[in-house]
Amino acid sequence: MAPSLRRLASDTVVYGVSTILQRFLTFLLTPLYSNHLTPSELGEVTAVFSVIAFVNIAYSLGMEPAFMRFHSNRNEGESSAAYANAVRTVVVLGSVMTLLTFVCAEQVAASRFLALGAEGGRLVRWACFIPLFDALVLIPFARLRMQQRPKRFAVLRLVSVVANVILNVVLLTWFSLGVHGVILAGVISSLVVVLLMSPDILQGLRTKAEVSVWRNMVRFGLPTVPASLSTILVQVADRPLLLMMAGSATVGLFQTNFRLALPMMMMVTVFEYAWKPFYLNHRDEDGASALFARVLTLFTVACGCVFLLTALLMPSVVAIPVGGGTFINERYWQGLSVVPITLLAFYLNGVFTNLAAGFHIAKRTGIFPIAMGLAAAINVIGTLVLVQPFGLDGAAWAKVAAYGASVAVLVVKLPSVYEIHYKWSHVAIAVVLAAAIYAAGLSLPRGWPVVAAGLVAPFLYVLLLMPLGVLNRSLLATIPRLIRR
Protein backbone atom coordinates (compact mmCIF):
# COMPACT_ATOMS: atom_id res chain seq x y z
CA MET A 1 0.00 0.00 0.00
CA ALA A 2 2.80 2.43 0.91
CA PRO A 3 4.57 2.25 -2.51
CA SER A 4 1.25 2.85 -4.25
CA LEU A 5 0.52 5.86 -2.09
CA ARG A 6 4.00 7.20 -2.75
CA ARG A 7 3.43 6.94 -6.52
CA LEU A 8 0.08 8.70 -6.20
CA ALA A 9 1.69 11.41 -4.09
CA SER A 10 4.57 11.79 -6.55
CA ASP A 11 2.25 12.20 -9.55
CA THR A 12 -0.03 14.49 -7.56
CA VAL A 13 2.89 16.79 -6.72
CA VAL A 14 3.86 17.10 -10.41
CA TYR A 15 0.29 17.70 -11.49
CA GLY A 16 -0.18 19.94 -8.49
CA VAL A 17 2.75 22.27 -9.08
CA SER A 18 1.89 22.69 -12.76
CA THR A 19 -1.82 23.15 -12.10
CA ILE A 20 -1.15 25.68 -9.35
CA LEU A 21 1.02 27.66 -11.76
CA GLN A 22 -1.61 27.42 -14.50
CA ARG A 23 -4.50 28.41 -12.28
CA PHE A 24 -2.51 31.18 -10.64
CA LEU A 25 -1.53 32.65 -13.99
CA THR A 26 -5.12 32.40 -15.22
CA PHE A 27 -6.37 33.91 -11.99
CA LEU A 28 -4.15 36.94 -12.57
CA LEU A 29 -6.33 37.70 -15.58
CA THR A 30 -9.15 38.61 -13.18
CA PRO A 31 -7.74 42.04 -12.24
CA LEU A 32 -6.77 42.53 -15.88
CA TYR A 33 -10.34 41.89 -17.00
CA SER A 34 -11.75 44.13 -14.26
CA ASN A 35 -9.64 47.03 -15.57
CA HIS A 36 -10.18 46.47 -19.32
CA LEU A 37 -13.62 44.87 -19.54
CA THR A 38 -16.91 46.17 -18.20
CA PRO A 39 -19.01 43.76 -16.10
CA SER A 40 -21.27 43.30 -19.14
CA GLU A 41 -18.32 42.45 -21.39
CA LEU A 42 -16.97 40.05 -18.78
CA GLY A 43 -20.42 38.47 -18.68
CA GLU A 44 -20.32 37.98 -22.45
CA VAL A 45 -16.90 36.32 -22.25
CA THR A 46 -18.18 34.03 -19.50
CA ALA A 47 -21.23 33.10 -21.58
CA VAL A 48 -19.07 32.22 -24.61
CA PHE A 49 -16.76 29.96 -22.63
CA SER A 50 -19.75 28.37 -20.91
CA VAL A 51 -21.13 27.35 -24.31
CA ILE A 52 -17.69 26.08 -25.34
CA ALA A 53 -17.71 23.83 -22.27
CA PHE A 54 -20.93 22.23 -23.53
CA VAL A 55 -19.61 21.87 -27.07
CA ASN A 56 -16.49 20.05 -25.88
CA ILE A 57 -18.67 17.13 -24.78
CA ALA A 58 -20.08 16.64 -28.26
CA TYR A 59 -16.61 16.74 -29.79
CA SER A 60 -15.32 13.71 -27.86
CA LEU A 61 -18.26 11.23 -27.74
CA GLY A 62 -16.87 9.82 -24.49
CA MET A 63 -13.62 8.78 -26.14
CA GLU A 64 -11.37 10.08 -23.37
CA PRO A 65 -12.71 7.78 -20.59
CA ALA A 66 -13.11 4.98 -23.15
CA PHE A 67 -9.48 5.23 -24.21
CA MET A 68 -8.29 5.33 -20.61
CA ARG A 69 -10.33 2.22 -19.78
CA PHE A 70 -9.09 0.25 -22.82
CA HIS A 71 -5.49 1.36 -22.45
CA SER A 72 -3.30 -1.44 -21.15
CA ASN A 73 0.30 -1.26 -19.97
CA ARG A 74 0.58 -4.99 -20.62
CA ASN A 75 -0.83 -5.10 -24.18
CA GLU A 76 0.77 -2.54 -26.51
CA GLY A 77 -1.28 -3.63 -29.52
CA GLU A 78 -4.58 -3.16 -27.72
CA SER A 79 -3.50 0.24 -26.44
CA SER A 80 -2.39 1.38 -29.92
CA ALA A 81 -5.72 0.36 -31.44
CA ALA A 82 -7.64 2.16 -28.70
CA TYR A 83 -5.53 5.28 -29.21
CA ALA A 84 -6.05 5.26 -32.98
CA ASN A 85 -9.80 4.78 -32.61
CA ALA A 86 -10.12 7.59 -30.10
CA VAL A 87 -8.00 10.10 -32.07
CA ARG A 88 -9.84 9.48 -35.35
CA THR A 89 -13.25 9.72 -33.73
CA VAL A 90 -12.43 13.06 -32.10
CA VAL A 91 -10.87 14.49 -35.28
CA VAL A 92 -13.94 13.64 -37.39
CA LEU A 93 -16.48 14.84 -34.83
CA GLY A 94 -14.56 18.02 -34.08
CA SER A 95 -14.19 18.95 -37.75
CA VAL A 96 -17.89 18.44 -38.48
CA MET A 97 -19.06 20.36 -35.42
CA THR A 98 -16.70 23.26 -36.11
CA LEU A 99 -17.87 23.55 -39.71
CA LEU A 100 -21.54 23.64 -38.65
CA THR A 101 -20.86 26.26 -35.99
CA PHE A 102 -18.86 28.42 -38.40
CA VAL A 103 -21.67 28.37 -40.98
CA CYS A 104 -24.41 29.09 -38.41
CA ALA A 105 -22.42 31.67 -36.43
CA GLU A 106 -25.03 34.46 -36.59
CA GLN A 107 -27.83 32.20 -35.35
CA VAL A 108 -25.65 30.93 -32.50
CA ALA A 109 -24.64 34.45 -31.47
CA ALA A 110 -28.26 35.64 -31.43
CA SER A 111 -29.47 32.80 -29.19
CA ARG A 112 -30.77 33.61 -25.70
CA PHE A 113 -27.79 31.79 -24.17
CA LEU A 114 -25.34 34.29 -25.70
CA ALA A 115 -27.11 37.40 -27.04
CA LEU A 116 -23.80 38.81 -28.25
CA GLY A 117 -25.10 41.65 -30.34
CA ALA A 118 -24.16 43.00 -33.77
CA GLU A 119 -20.65 41.55 -34.01
CA GLY A 120 -21.56 38.30 -32.31
CA GLY A 121 -21.29 36.29 -35.53
CA ARG A 122 -17.63 37.15 -35.99
CA LEU A 123 -16.96 36.41 -32.32
CA VAL A 124 -18.55 32.95 -32.63
CA ARG A 125 -16.53 32.20 -35.79
CA TRP A 126 -13.34 32.86 -33.87
CA ALA A 127 -14.48 31.04 -30.75
CA CYS A 128 -15.56 27.85 -32.55
CA PHE A 129 -11.92 26.91 -33.16
CA ILE A 130 -11.15 26.75 -29.42
CA PRO A 131 -13.13 23.53 -28.75
CA LEU A 132 -11.75 22.02 -31.97
CA PHE A 133 -8.13 22.59 -30.97
CA ASP A 134 -8.87 21.41 -27.42
CA ALA A 135 -10.46 18.23 -28.80
CA LEU A 136 -7.49 17.43 -31.04
CA VAL A 137 -5.15 17.17 -28.03
CA LEU A 138 -7.64 15.51 -25.69
CA ILE A 139 -6.61 11.90 -26.37
CA PRO A 140 -2.85 12.58 -26.56
CA PHE A 141 -3.10 14.21 -23.14
CA ALA A 142 -5.09 11.23 -21.85
CA ARG A 143 -2.36 8.88 -23.09
CA LEU A 144 0.27 10.85 -21.19
CA ARG A 145 -1.76 10.43 -18.03
CA MET A 146 -2.17 6.69 -18.53
CA GLN A 147 1.52 6.30 -19.28
CA GLN A 148 2.13 8.18 -16.03
CA ARG A 149 4.17 10.88 -17.74
CA PRO A 150 2.99 13.85 -15.68
CA LYS A 151 6.02 16.04 -16.45
CA ARG A 152 5.41 16.27 -20.20
CA PHE A 153 1.68 16.64 -19.56
CA ALA A 154 2.35 19.49 -17.15
CA VAL A 155 4.82 21.32 -19.40
CA LEU A 156 2.47 21.28 -22.40
CA ARG A 157 -0.45 22.51 -20.33
CA LEU A 158 1.70 25.24 -18.86
CA VAL A 159 2.84 26.40 -22.31
CA SER A 160 -0.80 26.84 -23.33
CA VAL A 161 -1.66 28.87 -20.24
CA VAL A 162 1.42 31.09 -20.45
CA ALA A 163 0.68 31.82 -24.09
CA ASN A 164 -2.94 32.61 -23.23
CA VAL A 165 -2.01 35.00 -20.42
CA ILE A 166 0.60 36.83 -22.48
CA LEU A 167 -1.77 37.16 -25.42
CA ASN A 168 -4.54 38.47 -23.16
CA VAL A 169 -2.23 41.13 -21.77
CA VAL A 170 -1.03 42.18 -25.23
CA LEU A 171 -4.42 42.14 -26.96
CA LEU A 172 -6.25 43.91 -24.14
CA THR A 173 -3.69 46.50 -23.04
CA TRP A 174 -1.82 47.28 -26.27
CA PHE A 175 -4.48 46.69 -28.92
CA SER A 176 -7.62 47.29 -26.81
CA LEU A 177 -9.53 44.49 -28.54
CA GLY A 178 -11.85 43.88 -25.60
CA VAL A 179 -13.94 40.71 -25.79
CA HIS A 180 -12.51 39.85 -29.21
CA GLY A 181 -9.01 39.99 -27.73
CA VAL A 182 -9.93 37.47 -25.02
CA ILE A 183 -11.37 35.04 -27.59
CA LEU A 184 -8.47 35.47 -30.00
CA ALA A 185 -6.01 34.78 -27.20
CA GLY A 186 -7.84 31.54 -26.49
CA VAL A 187 -7.71 30.47 -30.12
CA ILE A 188 -3.98 31.12 -30.58
CA SER A 189 -2.93 29.54 -27.28
CA SER A 190 -4.94 26.38 -28.08
CA LEU A 191 -3.39 26.22 -31.55
CA VAL A 192 0.11 26.38 -30.04
CA VAL A 193 -0.50 23.14 -28.12
CA VAL A 194 -1.95 21.44 -31.21
CA LEU A 195 1.25 22.24 -33.12
CA LEU A 196 3.42 20.95 -30.28
CA MET A 197 1.45 17.72 -30.08
CA SER A 198 1.00 17.25 -33.83
CA PRO A 199 3.33 14.19 -33.91
CA ASP A 200 1.12 12.48 -31.32
CA ILE A 201 -2.02 13.37 -33.27
CA LEU A 202 -0.54 12.13 -36.56
CA GLN A 203 0.54 8.90 -34.88
CA GLY A 204 -3.06 8.23 -33.94
CA LEU A 205 -4.21 8.91 -37.50
CA ARG A 206 -1.56 6.64 -39.01
CA THR A 207 -1.93 3.71 -36.60
CA LYS A 208 -4.25 0.95 -37.70
CA ALA A 209 -7.64 1.11 -36.03
CA GLU A 210 -9.84 -1.88 -35.19
CA VAL A 211 -13.60 -1.71 -35.67
CA SER A 212 -14.31 -4.28 -32.96
CA VAL A 213 -12.29 -2.28 -30.42
CA TRP A 214 -14.00 0.92 -31.53
CA ARG A 215 -17.44 -0.62 -30.95
CA ASN A 216 -16.47 -1.67 -27.44
CA MET A 217 -15.08 1.78 -26.75
CA VAL A 218 -18.28 3.41 -27.95
CA ARG A 219 -20.34 1.10 -25.74
CA PHE A 220 -18.25 2.13 -22.78
CA GLY A 221 -17.92 5.81 -23.67
CA LEU A 222 -21.47 6.69 -24.73
CA PRO A 223 -22.99 6.21 -21.25
CA THR A 224 -20.45 8.71 -19.95
CA VAL A 225 -21.59 11.43 -22.41
CA PRO A 226 -24.86 12.26 -20.62
CA ALA A 227 -22.94 12.22 -17.36
CA SER A 228 -20.32 14.59 -18.79
CA LEU A 229 -23.06 16.82 -20.18
CA SER A 230 -24.79 16.84 -16.80
CA THR A 231 -21.46 17.64 -15.17
CA ILE A 232 -21.08 20.68 -17.39
CA LEU A 233 -24.65 21.68 -16.61
CA VAL A 234 -23.79 21.58 -12.93
CA GLN A 235 -20.60 23.58 -13.50
CA VAL A 236 -21.76 26.35 -15.84
CA ALA A 237 -25.57 26.23 -16.34
CA ASP A 238 -26.00 28.99 -13.77
CA ARG A 239 -24.16 31.46 -16.03
CA PRO A 240 -26.61 31.44 -18.97
CA LEU A 241 -29.50 31.29 -16.50
CA LEU A 242 -28.16 34.33 -14.67
CA LEU A 243 -27.65 36.00 -18.04
CA MET A 244 -31.32 35.52 -18.91
CA MET A 245 -32.58 36.39 -15.41
CA ALA A 246 -30.33 39.31 -14.42
CA GLY A 247 -28.18 40.36 -17.36
CA SER A 248 -24.52 40.08 -18.32
CA ALA A 249 -23.29 42.45 -15.57
CA THR A 250 -24.59 40.07 -12.88
CA VAL A 251 -22.87 37.18 -14.64
CA GLY A 252 -19.61 39.12 -14.55
CA LEU A 253 -20.02 39.77 -10.81
CA PHE A 254 -20.79 36.13 -10.06
CA GLN A 255 -17.96 34.81 -12.23
CA THR A 256 -15.37 37.03 -10.57
CA ASN A 257 -16.26 35.89 -7.05
CA PHE A 258 -16.75 32.30 -8.15
CA ARG A 259 -13.15 32.28 -9.36
CA LEU A 260 -11.96 33.35 -5.92
CA ALA A 261 -12.66 29.77 -4.79
CA LEU A 262 -9.78 28.79 -7.05
CA PRO A 263 -7.68 27.01 -4.37
CA MET A 264 -10.32 24.31 -3.80
CA MET A 265 -10.88 23.93 -7.53
CA MET A 266 -7.13 23.41 -7.92
CA MET A 267 -7.13 20.85 -5.13
CA VAL A 268 -9.84 18.79 -6.80
CA THR A 269 -8.38 19.15 -10.29
CA VAL A 270 -4.89 18.15 -9.21
CA PHE A 271 -6.24 15.15 -7.37
CA GLU A 272 -8.38 14.00 -10.29
CA TYR A 273 -5.48 14.09 -12.76
CA ALA A 274 -3.51 11.68 -10.60
CA TRP A 275 -6.46 9.73 -9.16
CA LYS A 276 -7.97 8.14 -12.28
CA PRO A 277 -4.76 6.57 -13.63
CA PHE A 278 -3.87 5.58 -10.06
CA TYR A 279 -6.98 3.55 -9.30
CA LEU A 280 -7.17 2.05 -12.78
CA ASN A 281 -3.57 0.87 -12.61
CA HIS A 282 -3.90 -0.47 -9.03
CA ARG A 283 -7.42 -1.89 -9.19
CA ASP A 284 -6.24 -5.53 -9.18
CA GLU A 285 -3.83 -5.25 -6.27
CA ASP A 286 -4.47 -6.77 -2.84
CA GLY A 287 -5.80 -4.23 -0.40
CA ALA A 288 -7.00 -1.86 -3.14
CA SER A 289 -10.33 -1.28 -1.40
CA ALA A 290 -8.70 -0.26 1.88
CA LEU A 291 -6.29 1.96 -0.02
CA PHE A 292 -9.12 3.79 -1.81
CA ALA A 293 -10.98 4.33 1.47
CA ARG A 294 -7.91 5.82 3.09
CA VAL A 295 -7.44 8.23 0.18
CA LEU A 296 -10.92 9.71 0.71
CA THR A 297 -10.17 10.51 4.35
CA LEU A 298 -6.85 12.13 3.48
CA PHE A 299 -8.52 14.06 0.65
CA THR A 300 -11.16 15.42 3.03
CA VAL A 301 -8.56 16.59 5.54
CA ALA A 302 -6.58 18.32 2.78
CA CYS A 303 -9.72 20.04 1.52
CA GLY A 304 -10.54 21.18 5.06
CA CYS A 305 -7.18 22.94 5.26
CA VAL A 306 -7.74 24.58 1.87
CA PHE A 307 -11.24 25.70 2.89
CA LEU A 308 -10.10 27.37 6.11
CA LEU A 309 -7.15 29.12 4.49
CA THR A 310 -9.19 30.43 1.55
CA ALA A 311 -12.46 31.33 3.27
CA LEU A 312 -10.83 33.27 6.10
CA LEU A 313 -8.14 35.06 4.09
CA MET A 314 -9.97 35.95 0.86
CA PRO A 315 -11.64 39.16 2.17
CA SER A 316 -8.15 40.47 2.97
CA VAL A 317 -6.60 39.21 -0.27
CA VAL A 318 -9.04 41.08 -2.52
CA ALA A 319 -8.18 44.35 -0.74
CA ILE A 320 -4.43 44.10 -1.38
CA PRO A 321 -3.30 47.38 -3.00
CA VAL A 322 -2.28 46.95 -6.64
CA GLY A 323 -1.33 49.80 -8.98
CA GLY A 324 -3.33 52.49 -7.23
CA GLY A 325 -6.35 50.21 -6.79
CA THR A 326 -6.96 46.81 -5.24
CA PHE A 327 -6.30 43.26 -6.38
CA ILE A 328 -10.00 42.82 -7.15
CA ASN A 329 -11.96 45.95 -7.96
CA GLU A 330 -14.08 47.06 -5.03
CA ARG A 331 -17.29 46.92 -7.05
CA TYR A 332 -17.00 43.11 -7.04
CA TRP A 333 -16.67 42.73 -3.25
CA GLN A 334 -20.42 42.57 -2.71
CA GLY A 335 -20.30 38.99 -3.98
CA LEU A 336 -17.64 37.70 -1.55
CA SER A 337 -20.21 35.66 0.37
CA VAL A 338 -20.22 33.30 -2.63
CA VAL A 339 -16.66 32.15 -1.88
CA PRO A 340 -17.13 29.78 1.13
CA ILE A 341 -20.26 28.29 -0.45
CA THR A 342 -18.39 27.60 -3.67
CA LEU A 343 -15.52 26.04 -1.73
CA LEU A 344 -17.97 23.54 -0.25
CA ALA A 345 -19.39 22.79 -3.69
CA PHE A 346 -15.95 22.03 -5.09
CA TYR A 347 -15.21 19.71 -2.17
CA LEU A 348 -18.37 17.71 -2.85
CA ASN A 349 -17.30 17.47 -6.47
CA GLY A 350 -14.04 15.96 -5.24
CA VAL A 351 -15.92 13.41 -3.13
CA PHE A 352 -17.84 12.41 -6.26
CA THR A 353 -14.52 11.91 -8.05
CA ASN A 354 -13.35 9.65 -5.22
CA LEU A 355 -16.49 7.52 -5.28
CA ALA A 356 -16.51 7.23 -9.08
CA ALA A 357 -13.45 4.96 -8.91
CA GLY A 358 -15.47 1.86 -7.96
CA PHE A 359 -17.90 2.33 -10.83
CA HIS A 360 -15.14 2.77 -13.39
CA ILE A 361 -13.33 -0.31 -12.13
CA ALA A 362 -16.52 -2.41 -12.28
CA LYS A 363 -17.43 -0.97 -15.72
CA ARG A 364 -20.75 0.25 -14.32
CA THR A 365 -20.60 3.77 -15.72
CA GLY A 366 -24.34 3.77 -16.40
CA ILE A 367 -24.89 5.23 -12.92
CA PHE A 368 -23.17 8.49 -13.86
CA PRO A 369 -25.95 9.79 -16.13
CA ILE A 370 -28.40 9.21 -13.28
CA ALA A 371 -26.27 10.89 -10.63
CA MET A 372 -25.21 13.86 -12.70
CA GLY A 373 -28.58 14.14 -14.43
CA LEU A 374 -30.15 14.58 -11.01
CA ALA A 375 -27.44 17.06 -10.07
CA ALA A 376 -27.98 19.04 -13.27
CA ALA A 377 -31.73 19.21 -12.69
CA ILE A 378 -31.23 20.35 -9.10
CA ASN A 379 -28.70 22.98 -10.18
CA VAL A 380 -31.02 24.41 -12.84
CA ILE A 381 -34.12 24.34 -10.65
CA GLY A 382 -32.21 25.56 -7.62
CA THR A 383 -30.76 28.49 -9.56
CA LEU A 384 -34.18 29.48 -10.87
CA VAL A 385 -35.75 29.25 -7.41
CA LEU A 386 -32.98 30.56 -5.14
CA VAL A 387 -31.54 33.47 -7.12
CA GLN A 388 -34.65 35.59 -6.72
CA PRO A 389 -34.71 35.57 -2.87
CA PHE A 390 -30.99 35.04 -2.14
CA GLY A 391 -29.21 36.62 -5.09
CA LEU A 392 -25.78 35.28 -6.04
CA ASP A 393 -25.63 33.17 -2.86
CA GLY A 394 -28.68 31.32 -4.12
CA ALA A 395 -26.86 30.29 -7.30
CA ALA A 396 -23.91 29.06 -5.21
CA TRP A 397 -26.14 27.05 -2.84
CA ALA A 398 -27.87 25.49 -5.84
CA LYS A 399 -24.47 24.16 -6.88
CA VAL A 400 -23.85 22.73 -3.40
CA ALA A 401 -27.20 20.96 -3.49
CA ALA A 402 -26.44 19.61 -6.96
CA TYR A 403 -23.07 18.12 -6.05
CA GLY A 404 -24.50 16.80 -2.79
CA ALA A 405 -27.23 14.95 -4.67
CA SER A 406 -24.73 13.36 -7.06
CA VAL A 407 -22.63 12.14 -4.12
CA ALA A 408 -25.72 10.69 -2.42
CA VAL A 409 -26.58 8.62 -5.49
CA LEU A 410 -23.11 7.08 -5.63
CA VAL A 411 -23.04 6.41 -1.89
CA VAL A 412 -26.31 4.46 -2.10
CA LYS A 413 -25.36 2.47 -5.19
CA LEU A 414 -21.64 1.76 -4.60
CA PRO A 415 -21.96 -1.16 -2.09
CA SER A 416 -23.70 -3.28 -4.72
CA VAL A 417 -21.09 -2.46 -7.37
CA TYR A 418 -17.67 -2.34 -5.71
CA GLU A 419 -17.14 -2.78 -2.00
CA ILE A 420 -15.14 -0.03 -0.34
CA HIS A 421 -15.47 0.50 3.42
CA TYR A 422 -15.14 4.25 3.67
CA LYS A 423 -14.79 5.68 7.17
CA TRP A 424 -17.71 8.08 6.84
CA SER A 425 -17.59 8.97 10.52
CA HIS A 426 -14.05 10.30 10.06
CA VAL A 427 -15.10 12.22 6.96
CA ALA A 428 -18.04 13.78 8.81
CA ILE A 429 -15.87 14.77 11.79
CA ALA A 430 -13.36 16.44 9.48
CA VAL A 431 -16.11 18.42 7.69
CA VAL A 432 -17.89 19.53 10.88
CA LEU A 433 -14.64 20.57 12.55
CA ALA A 434 -13.66 22.71 9.53
CA ALA A 435 -17.07 24.42 9.64
CA ALA A 436 -16.76 25.07 13.39
CA ILE A 437 -13.31 26.63 13.09
CA TYR A 438 -14.51 28.80 10.19
CA ALA A 439 -17.51 30.00 12.21
CA ALA A 440 -15.20 30.90 15.08
CA GLY A 441 -12.95 32.83 12.70
CA LEU A 442 -15.89 34.90 11.47
CA SER A 443 -16.49 36.19 14.99
CA LEU A 444 -13.10 37.92 15.05
CA PRO A 445 -12.67 41.61 14.16
CA ARG A 446 -11.75 42.49 10.59
CA GLY A 447 -8.10 43.05 9.79
CA TRP A 448 -5.05 41.34 11.29
CA PRO A 449 -7.01 39.13 13.74
CA VAL A 450 -8.80 37.42 10.85
CA VAL A 451 -5.59 37.18 8.82
CA ALA A 452 -3.78 35.57 11.75
CA ALA A 453 -6.70 33.19 12.27
CA GLY A 454 -6.67 32.22 8.61
CA LEU A 455 -2.98 31.37 8.74
CA VAL A 456 -3.23 29.39 11.99
CA ALA A 457 -6.57 27.65 11.33
CA PRO A 458 -5.26 24.81 9.08
CA PHE A 459 -2.62 23.82 11.65
CA LEU A 460 -5.16 23.93 14.49
CA TYR A 461 -7.52 21.87 12.34
CA VAL A 462 -4.97 19.10 11.79
CA LEU A 463 -3.96 19.04 15.45
CA LEU A 464 -7.58 18.70 16.63
CA LEU A 465 -8.20 15.82 14.23
CA MET A 466 -5.62 13.72 16.06
CA PRO A 467 -7.44 13.31 19.41
CA LEU A 468 -10.70 12.90 17.48
CA GLY A 469 -9.28 9.75 15.89
CA VAL A 470 -9.30 10.95 12.27
CA LEU A 471 -5.52 11.33 12.10
CA ASN A 472 -2.75 9.74 14.10
CA ARG A 473 0.93 10.48 14.56
CA SER A 474 2.14 7.74 12.24
CA LEU A 475 -0.05 9.01 9.42
CA LEU A 476 1.12 12.59 9.92
CA ALA A 477 4.72 11.37 9.85
CA THR A 478 4.04 9.54 6.59
CA ILE A 479 2.61 12.51 4.67
CA PRO A 480 5.92 14.46 4.33
CA ARG A 481 7.64 11.35 3.02
CA LEU A 482 4.88 10.85 0.44
CA ILE A 483 5.22 14.43 -0.74
CA ARG A 484 9.01 14.19 -1.04
CA ARG A 485 8.63 11.12 -3.24
Written as one string, the DSSP assignment of 125-166 is HHHTHHHHHHHHTHHHHHHHHHTT-HHHHHHHHHHHHHHHHH
Averaging pLDDT over each range in 119-128, 310-319, 340-349, 359-368, which range is the top one?
Answer: 340-349
Could you report the per-residue pLDDT of 317-352, keeping only the tens digit for each? Answer: 888 887 677 888 788 888 899 999 999 999 999 999
Find the mean pLDDT for residues 150-168: 91
Predicted confidence (pLDDT) at residue 438 exceeds the cutoff of 80: yes
User: What pLDDT does residue 482 have?
Assistant: 40
Residue 395 to residue 257: CA distance in whole angstroms: 12
* Nearest alpha carbon to residue 271 among 310, 307, 298: 298
Neighbouring-strand partners of residue 322: 325
Residue 89 to residue 66: CA distance in whole angstroms: 12
Could you report the per-residue pLDDT of 213-263, keeping only the tens digit for each? Answer: 888 888 888 877 876 777 788 878 888 888 888 777 888 889 889 989 988
Cut 0.85: pTM above it: no
Residue 311 near residue 264 (C-beta atoms within 8 A): no
* Nearest alpha carbon to residue 396 among 464, 348, 437, 327: 348
Residue 255 to residue 328: CA distance in whole angstroms: 12
Choose between 61 and 394: higher pLDDT.
Answer: 394
User: What pLDDT does residue 95 have?
Assistant: 92
- Percentage of residues in the chain having pLDDT higher than 90: 35
